Amino acid sequence: MMLRAAALRRLRSVLVRTARPMARCIIVVMDSVGIGALPDAQAYGDALQVNTVGNTAQHLGGLALPNFAALGLGALTRIQGVADQPSLPSRIARMGEASAGKDTITGHWEMAGIVTNVAFPTFPHGFPPDVIAAFTDICGGKAPLGNCAASGTEILAELGELHMQTGRPILYTSADSVFQVAAHEQVVPVETLYTWCNAARAWLDGPYRVNRVIARPFLGKPGAFVRTANRHDFAVEPPDNMLDQLAAQHIPVHGVGKISDIFSGRGLTSSTRVADNDEGVAATLHLLDTVGHGCIFTNLNDFDSKYGHRRDVRGYGMALERLDTQLPSLLQRLRTDDVLIITADHGCDPTAPGSDHTREYVPFLACGAVEAAQLGDVWGFELVAATVTATLLPT
Higher-pLDDT residue of 77, 7? 77
**pLDDT above 50: residue 345:** yes
**Interior angle at CA 172, CA 256 and CA 110, nearest 5:** 40
Compute the distance between CA of residue 171 and CA of residue 305 in angstroms, rounded to an integer: 17
> What DSSP element (H or E) covers 198?
helix 190-203
pLDDT in tens, 109-160: 999 999 999 989 999 999 999 999 999 999 999 999 999 999 888 999 999 9
For residue range 202-261, what is the model confidence (pLDDT) as tens digits?
A: 999 999 999 999 999 999 999 999 999 899 999 999 999 999 999 999 999 999 999 999
pLDDT in tens, 71-86: 999 999 999 999 999 9
Domain 129-235 sits in which CATH superfamily?
A: Phosphopentomutase (3.30.70.1250)
Residue 20 has pLDDT above 90, yes or no: no
Contacting residues for 279 by C-beta, under 8 A, at least 6 apart: none
Answer positive or negative: Cα dihedral of 347, 301, 8, 91. Answer: positive
* 18-32 average pLDDT score: 86
pLDDT tens digits along 39-49? 999 999 999 99
276-309 tens-digit pLDDT:
999 999 999 999 999 999 999 999 999 999 999 9
Per-domain residue ranges of the chain? 18-117+236-392, 129-235
Amino acid 88: pLDDT: 96
> What pLDDT, on a 0 to 100 scale, did the predictor assign at position 1?
44
Give residue 277's pLDDT. 98
Topology (CATH level 3) of domain 18-117+236-392: Alkaline Phosphatase, subunit A (3.40.720)
At residue 15, the pLDDT reads 55
Task: Give the number of C-alpha atoms closer than 13 A to the C-alpha of residue 197, restricted to the C-beta side.
Answer: 32
Which of 98, 82, 75, 78 shows the shortest CA–CA distance to 3?
98
3-state helix, strand, coil in the chain (%, to 5): 35, 20, 40
Task: Give the separation between CA 205 and CA 385, rounded to whole angstroms.
Answer: 28
Is 129-235 in the same CATH topology as 18-117+236-392? no
**Pick the residue with more confidence: 176 or 395?**
176
- pLDDT at position 289: 98
What's the pLDDT at 2?
Answer: 40
